[in-house]
């Protein structure tokens, strides 16, 4: 009987090794509880509002003398510029950052010195981490021609950009629907649309061709232009009459791909009879985006254009040096700027 009781007690009594392990386990649990109370949560990457990953750097490439990779610190080394905007999808905000023009000036754009205003034949394609891309004409961002402060912004309303917008966001003041506000910028590419016509002797034109990515390419003379809706713009005291470039493109019908805002990938190359040419971004002239009233003018102050300007001339409101005023218009070609 005594032996039976002793055996039961010996079975219930834990061994020293088991007791040691139990005490060690309790100590570890207590330590974990203390650490968990003070440690910061582990940050995890989240996709941007546009479906891409938050960006931390961008690549400068294309027709540049000094291609580079730029981080936030690199952008902050440039003069800081602020712009206030009010676009319908995002509301009123003040963005701060670096002028896109300043960044590209430092990188150095490759140009042909033999061509007058060769920069005006260049386009800048900005792409986000989700692949969304838009085109900007050089004439939009160069302060010698336009007064638009296009930013690579890194602050919004005095604070760093929301995480979903990455380290830099393209901001294009004047774009009413913010279609060219690219979040999570990862690439800035400088390019031209293709081979340019050789310089030639200027000749008065009586018609031009509208060609390229259009449903109905056509030849337009004065009668054909006057058959379309006439608009007017006043530039430096001169009232020009003609057809808005956007109206002309709407009439011809652009060939668009099944992708978001594909028209923001397009550009128009305007060519004069002397070979002088320039690029106009479609986003620049779209009524719900840049809404610049670029005109194919056929009259000035109620009279036909001067003989030296031909029957039709491109005029661009806001172009300080009139560098994209193409006289003796010979061709308008719709091209793909952002593939």
Mean pLDDT of 139-161: 95
- DSSP class of residue 317 equals T
pTM for this model (two decimals)? 0.83
Q: Inform me whether the pLDDT recorded for 4 exceeds 50.
A: no
User: Domains of the chain (ranges plus CATH)?
Assistant: 57-191 (3.90.420.10), 207-336 (3.90.420.10)
Which whole number is the average pLDDT over 121-134?
96
Query: Which has more confidence, 108 or 20?
Result: 108
Interval 284-289 mean pLDDT: 94
Q: What is the mean pLDDT of the chain?
A: 86
Q: How far apart are CA 54 and CA 168, in angstroms?
A: 9
> What average pLDDT score do residues 150-171 get?
97
* Long-range contacts at 255-258 (CB < 8 A, ≥ 24 apart): 255/213, 255/214, 255/215
State the pLDDT at residue 34.
33
The 10 Å Cβ neighbour count of residue 302 is 8
Q: What is the dihedral of CA 201, 195, 208, 294, to 10 degrees?
A: -110
Q: What is the mean pLDDT of residues 183-207?
A: 89
3-state secondary structure of 208: strand
State the average pLDDT over residues 258-263. 90
- Cβ neighbour number for residue 311 with a 10 Å cutoff: 21
Q: pLDDT over 70 for what percent of the chain?
A: 84
Share of the chain above pLDDT 90, in %: 76
Which pLDDT band, with edges at 50, 70 and 90, does 317 fall under?
Answer: very high
Token output for 176: 């009413």
Q: Is the pLDDT of residue 17 over 50?
A: no
Is the per-residue pLDDT at 10 higher than 80? no
CB-based contact 75:168 (threshold 8 Å): yes
Dump pLDDT digits (tens) for 217-245. Answer: 999 999 999 999 999 999 999 999 999 99
Q: pLDDT-based confidence at 199, cuts 50/70/90? A: confident
* Residue 209 pLDDT level (bands cut at 50, 70, 90): very high
- Which helix (H) or strand (E) covers residue 173, if one does? none
Residue 270: pLDDT band with limits 50, 70, 90: very high
pLDDT of residue 6: 33
Q: Does pLDDT of 35 surpass 80? A: no
User: Average pLDDT of 295-301?
Assistant: 98
Rounded to an integer, the average pLDDT of 166-184 is 96
Is-contact 110 64, C-beta < 8 A? yes
Compute the half-sphere exposure of residue 72: CA atoms within 13 Å on the CB side of its CA.
13
């Amino acid at each position: 009987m005594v032996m039976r009781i002793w055996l039961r007690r010996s079975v219930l009594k834990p061994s020293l090794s088991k007791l040691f392990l139990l005490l060690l386990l309790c100590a570890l649990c207590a330590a974990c509880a203390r650490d968990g109370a003070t440690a910061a949560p582990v940050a995890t990457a989240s996709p941007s509002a546009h479906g891409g990953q938050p960006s931390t750097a961008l690549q400068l490439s294309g027709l540049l003398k000094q291609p580079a990779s730029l981080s936030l610190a690199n952008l902050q080394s440039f003069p800081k510029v602020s712009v206030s905007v009010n676009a319908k999808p995002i509301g009123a905000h003040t963005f701060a950052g670096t002028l896109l023009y300043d960044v590209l000036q430092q990188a150095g754009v490759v140009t042909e010195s033999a061509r007058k205003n060769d920069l005006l034949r260049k386009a800048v394609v900005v792409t986000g981490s989700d692949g969304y891309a838009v085109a900007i004409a050089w004439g939009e961002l160069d302060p010698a021609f336009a007064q638009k402060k296009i930013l690579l912004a890194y602050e919004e309303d005095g604070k760093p950009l929301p995480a979903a917008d990455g380290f830099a966001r393209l901001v294009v003041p004047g774009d009413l629907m913010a279609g060219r506000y690219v979040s999570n910028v990862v690439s800035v590419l400088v390019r031209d649309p293709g081979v340019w016509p050789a310089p030639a002797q200027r000749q008065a034109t009586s018609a031009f061709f509208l060609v390229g990515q259009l449903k109905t390419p056509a030849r337009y003379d004065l009668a054909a232009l006057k058959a379309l809706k006439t608009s007017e713009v006043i530039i430096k005291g001169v009232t020009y009459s003609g057809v808005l470039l956007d109206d002309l493109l709407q009439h011809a019908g652009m060939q668009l791909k099944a992708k978001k805002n594909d028209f923001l990938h397009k550009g128009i190359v305007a060519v004069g009879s002397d070979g002088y040419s320039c690029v106009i971004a479609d986003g620049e002239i779209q009524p719900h985006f840049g809404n610049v009233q670029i005109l194919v003018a056929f009259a000035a102050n109620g009279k036909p254009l001067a003989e030296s300007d031909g029957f039709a001339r491109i005029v661009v409101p806001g172009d300080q040096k009139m560098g994209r005023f193409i006289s003796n218009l010979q061709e308008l070609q719709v091209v793909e700027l952002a593939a």
